[in-house]
Amino acid sequence: MTMETGRSTFPFPYQPYTIQEQFMKALYTTLDQGKVGIFESPTGTGKSLSLICGALSWLTDHEEKKKQEAAALLQDGEAALSTNTAQASTSSSSAEPDWITDFVQKKAERDLVSKLKEEELRRKKREERLEMIRNNVQLKYAMKRKSCEEDEAFKLLQLSKEEPGEEPGNQEDEDLIIAEYESDDESKSKSRYEDLVEEHVTKIYYCSRTHSQLAQFVHEVQKSPFSKDISLVTLGSRQNMCINEEVRRLGSIQRINDRCLEMQKNKHEKQQSEEGVKRKRGTAKSVCPFYKASAMQQMRDEVLGTVHDIEQLLKLGRETHSCPYYATRHAIPPAQLVVLPYQMVLHEATRHASGIHLKGQVVIIDEAHNLSDTLSCIHSAELSGAQLCRAHSQLSQYADRYRSRLKAKNLMYIKQVLFVIEGLVRVLGGKVGQNPQTQTTQAGTEMLTINNFLFKAQIDNINLFKLQRYFEKSMISRKMFSFSISLMCFPPLCVVSSADQQGSVEEEKVLSASPMMQVEGFFMALTNTNTDGRVVVHRQGTLFNTHVKFLLLNPAVHFAQVLKECRAVIIAGGTMQPVSDFKQELLFSAGVGEERITEFSCGHVIPPENILPIVLCSGPSGQELDFTFQNRDSPRMMDETGRILSNICNVVPGGVVCFFPSYEYSRRIISHWEASGALARLGNKKKIFQEPKKANQLEQVLSDFSRCIQRCALDGGSLTGALLFSVVGGKMSEGINFSDDLGRCVVMVGMPYPNIKSPELLEKMSYLDKHLPHSGGRSPGQALIDNLCMKAVNQSIGRAIRHRGDYSSIVLCDRRYSRPATLSKLPTWIKDRTSTHTSFGPAFAALRKVRSKHTSNHPNITLKPFMFFMNVLLLQFFLEKKQRPM
């Protein structure tokens, strides 16, 4: 069905909620006016579909408008040419001869008409090709059959070429020599991929944090009315997109990246050999069978013709025998919607490497409540003493081996890189050329400005900007990787665990690869302005374990380029409060004026009676709930918390999720309950689960938790459900949905303030106090502390309500939640329904009332086993994709 507005028509898969209608109208207007929009829509209100239908409606209208304007310009241009031809004999009052004026005018008009015709031709070709891809099934099968035939021919050719290998000659070393600011690996292979390069059409970049969030968004697009007409491509890391089992087995993303680059290098060598470059034959080098231009073009076309998520892309890659990682990158220019993780948009070097152009495009940043922290994390850099020593050792060996064959300027820059590395090691308290495991350092942490760090390292006379350009132009990091692979033994100071030593020789070589890319990243970080960052030196006993870290204090400096280049930027999330601080730190500091910013916030679609947020100021025995650092470890406070949970478990059916402020406090309070018997009493009512320490155990714990609730609901025994102990900011506080009976009550124990003794946090607070205005009687630094705490709270308590028919209670156990300033930081739809109770009795009565009301409306969950079972299946499906890094 469609919904008419004053400006446009929004296709939608069903009758939208009123807040969805308002959301799409506001989004359309923001995109049309080229503004920066901050959109807040609670989880469970259909935010993703509103983003999809609102944004793609604008894109469709925008393309149609551009087409009409181009047609009108073309018509006017042709008419002007005809008119000028007719008036060619008219005299001119200009000092120049008539024929010159006439020629210049005609040429400008002809050029315009020619340009418009070319653009129209390209647009028609693009549309015709997409139509052919979507409809011509026979073409797809023909291309697939051709690919299979090529594979068979390739295998036969390889068998016919198999001969005993000879000792490799010196020709291999030629690939390791740094050219004078050009890549000597790829220049001859570019022509093979020229047909994959296209101009960028107007597009929307949608980015989110995790693989599962991106997959969910793609599934929403597949359900939308645009699924058959939109060209969508999903991007991811090699770790998620690679289908080469030999490479996937390496595990870590760094080792996968390194191996992929090495196999590409081998592929280019093979191409050079086929093109007539004579080489001495040696042992065959492994190349990737999926990195083929024809296969990647076939897969790119299929990707553009049908909406695929990453799992479907992997399946398609195996079917077409093509690399999904590179095929999706070739699909970026003609794609209308690009779905990708944060870093590919927010990090400039990654943007350029991925082929992402933001000029005049739209960027939607979803789940943006931690955008500031994300930007800071992406642009921070860290190096260990072991990495620095290894990089220095390998680069020294490289310079010694190829000294006679490197040009003077290359040798000069290599010496500068070595000099800087020596300075960094010196700051950490060690020396290069010695084993970092045997070099002791004085333990402690030191915070330095960038300039002071450069002075202390005695590298302030080195132009880091020139070194950065040298890294980029010479591709020395990639050369050093190839060089480290080519070494017959491990480079000095490279320590390998016994487990890794059991692996193949190929894997060991990858493990010993040069850390020069990390060194390059740290050098780049040091080019930030002195006020925008700090350098933290953590000395931990030995040079091997000592680290140096660049800490970005001003994320706006990197976000500014995104805001400047894009036509419009949408910053969306379920909880964006407090918006004023967000605007100050990321938008105003980036040079965005108030007039360019629009805000939209809506309530929830659930009825008011379906949520019961309670601030609990005291427990059943009258003990005041004050979980400050000084009071939270007292036995009385821990006992009172146990009594609160016991009462809640008595009246709340299904699942109860209890969040603690930290892992350490969770451990202490559970140990206290074990000793006092409170844990056993809780276990008599609900089966107890705890958040696992290891990420790979998370899926099993959540699966057992959901199945236990299902069994209890069906069996009707003494257990009424399950109790899950979690940690704010941990594995279960974000991205996990405790919908329906999986989360009938969420309990927040205390307030999860960050560690204010952290040197990094103290420096960030100091920076904000100096550079941002004070408001409301609180310094920006203190506001940061409060915001970090309440953002974490909001993410945790938002786990329970996931759809219109859901209901849950939220119990905030700490009197400090009753402060007006704290309540104001809760999401509006929760804050407006929150009641504060100074005593436990009325709060407990309210919980019983919620239980009786909803159990009377839904007498027993056993009447709805199918719906509950579907929730369990959905949770399991979500867990399969949970937290896979991009």
**Average pLDDT value for the chain:** 80
Residue 291 DSSP SS3: coil
Per the DSSP assignment, residues forming a β-bridge with 208 are 341
Residue 384: is its pLDDT beyond 50?
A: yes
Using an 8 Å Cβ cutoff, are 561 and 468 in contact?
no
Helix (H, G, I), strand (E, B) or coil at 439: coil
Determine the distance from the C-alpha atom of residue 124 to the mean position of all C-alpha atoms in its chain, rounded to a whole number.
34
Query: Residue 595's pLDDT is what?
Result: 93
* Cα 341 off chain centre by: 3
Give the single-character DSSP code of 408: H
Arithmetic mean of pLDDT, 552-581: 90
CA distance 418 to 397: 11
Q: Which long-range contacts (CB under 8 A, 24 or more apart) does 125-130 make?
A: 126/198, 126/201, 126/334, 129/301, 130/231, 130/304, 130/305, 130/334
From the list 778, 717, 743, the residue with the least C-alpha distance to 659 is: 743
Record the tokens describing residue 544, joined without a space: 């091997």
Residue 256: predicted pLDDT: 85
Q: What is the largest CA-CA distance in the chain?
A: 107
Give the pLDDT score at 640: 95
Cα–Cα dist 488/414, whole Å: 23
State how far the Cα of 117 lies from the Cα of 123, in Å rounded to an integer.
Answer: 10
CB neighbour list of residue 148: distance below 8 Å, 6 or more residues apart = 321
Q: Which residues pair with 205 in a beta bridge?
A: 338, 363
Is residue 579 scored above 60 in pLDDT?
Answer: yes
Kindly give, in sequence order, each residue whose CB lies less than 8 Å from that of residue 321, ignoring residues fewer than 6 positions away.
147, 148, 151, 289, 290, 292, 295
Whole-number pLDDT of residue 404: 87
H or E stretch at 810:
strand 808-813
pLDDT band at 134; cut points 50, 70, 90: low
Is 176 buried (19+), middle (13-18) or exposed (0-12) by CB count in 10 A?
A: middle
Tell which wins on pLDDT, 774 or 492. Answer: 774
Q: Which of 686, 721, 741 is CA-nearest to residue 865?
A: 741
pLDDT for the residue numbered 3: 45
Burial zone of 608 (CB within 10 Å; 0-12 exposed, 13-18 middle, 19+ buried): exposed
User: What does the alpha-carbon distance between residue 67 and residue 120 come to, in Å, rounded to a whole number?
Assistant: 8
- Distance in angstroms (rounded) separating the CA atoms of residues 847 and 853: 10
pLDDT in tens, 802-847: 777 888 899 999 999 999 999 988 988 889 899 999 999 999 998 8
* Band of pLDDT at residue 523, cut at 50, 70 and 90: very high
Which residue in 481, 475, 604, 534 sits closest to 765, CA to CA? 534
pLDDT at 850: 73
Q: Which range (9-13, 198-202, 862-866, 867-871) has the least confidence?
A: 862-866
**Model confidence band, residue 510 (pLDDT cutoffs 50, 70, 90):** very low
End-to-end CA distance of the chain: 35
Place of tokens 């025994």: 717
Q: Are 723 and 738 in contact (CB under 8 A)?
A: no
pLDDT score at 277 = 52
**pLDDT (mean) for 31-53:** 90
Say which residue, 4 or 792, is predicted with more confidence: 792
Q: Please, how many CA atoms are within 13 Å of residue 838, restricted to the half-sphere of its CB?
A: 1
The token pair that represents 255 in the structure block: 């080792």
Collapsed DSSP state (helix, strand, coil) of residue 200: coil
Distance CA(205)–CA(336), nearest Å, equals 8
**What is the average pLDDT across 643-667?**
92
Residue pLDDT, tens place only, 103-129:
666 666 667 667 766 777 777 776 666
> How is the chain split into domains, by residue range?
394-487+514-551, 611-872
Look up the pTM and report it: 0.81
> Distance between CA 551 and CA 635 in Å, rounded?
39
| CB-based contact 648:656 (threshold 8 Å) | yes
**Nearest alpha carbon to residue 654 among 717, 724, 712:** 712
Dig out the tokens for 423 from the structure.
């300075």
What's the pLDDT tens digit per position in 139-198? Answer: 555 555 555 555 555 454 444 444 444 444 454 455 556 654 443 333 444 444 444 456
Q: For tokens 């019961």, what's the residue?
A: 612
CATH says 611-872 is which class?
Answer: alpha beta
User: In the predicted model, is pLDDT for residue 883 greater than 70?
Assistant: no
Q: How many whole angstroms separate alpha carbon 90 and alpha carbon 799?
A: 77
Highest mean predicted confidence (pLDDT) among 4-13, 278-287, 565-574, 601-610: 565-574
What is the predicted pLDDT for the residue at 512? Answer: 43
Which pLDDT band holds residue 226 (cuts at 50, 70, 90)?
very high
Tens digit of each residue's pLDDT (9 = 90 or more) over 85-107:
555 544 444 555 665 666 666 66
* Sheet with 721-727, side-by-side order of all strands: 687-690, 721-727, 654-660, 745-749, 808-813, 611-616, 835-837
- pLDDT, tens digit (0-9, with 9 covering 90-100), for 385-394: 999 999 999 8
The whole-angstrom separation of Cα 219 and Cα 311 is 11
Q: Which pLDDT value is given to residue 527? A: 93
Q: What percent of the chain has pLDDT over 70?
A: 75
Residue 257: what pLDDT?
Answer: 83
Alpha carbons 406 and 401: distance in angstroms, whole number: 10
What 8-state DSSP symbol labels residue 490? P
Task: Give the chain's count of helices (H) and strands (E).
Answer: 35, 20
Res 56: pLDDT? 94
Res 557: pLDDT: 93
Greater pLDDT, 424 or 265: 424
pLDDT band at residue 885, thresholds of 50, 70 and 90? Answer: very low
The pair of structure tokens assigned to 520 is 């390059």
* Paired residues of 778 in beta bridges: 775
Of the ranges 9-18, 224-233, 476-485, the best mean pLDDT one = 224-233
Please determine, for residue 578, whether its predicted confidence score (pLDDT) is greater than 80: no
Instruction: Give the range among 132-141, 264-273, 711-720, 766-775 with minimum mean pLDDT.
Output: 132-141
pLDDT at 160: 45
Lowest mean pLDDT among 133-142, 520-529, 542-551: 133-142
What pLDDT, in 10s, does the model give residues 44-78?
788 899 999 999 999 999 888 888 777 776 666 66
Q: Is the pLDDT of residue 639 over 80?
A: yes
Provide, for the chain, the percentages of residues in helix, strand and coil under a 3-state DSSP scheme, each rounded to the nearest 5: 55, 15, 30
Q: CA triplet 417, 422, 428: central angle to 5 degrees?
A: 130
Mean pLDDT within 303-326: 91
75 or 521: which leads in pLDDT? 521
Chain centroid to Cα 291, Å, comes to: 25
Which of 260-269, 294-303, 816-825 is predicted most confidently?
816-825
- pLDDT for 185 equals 39
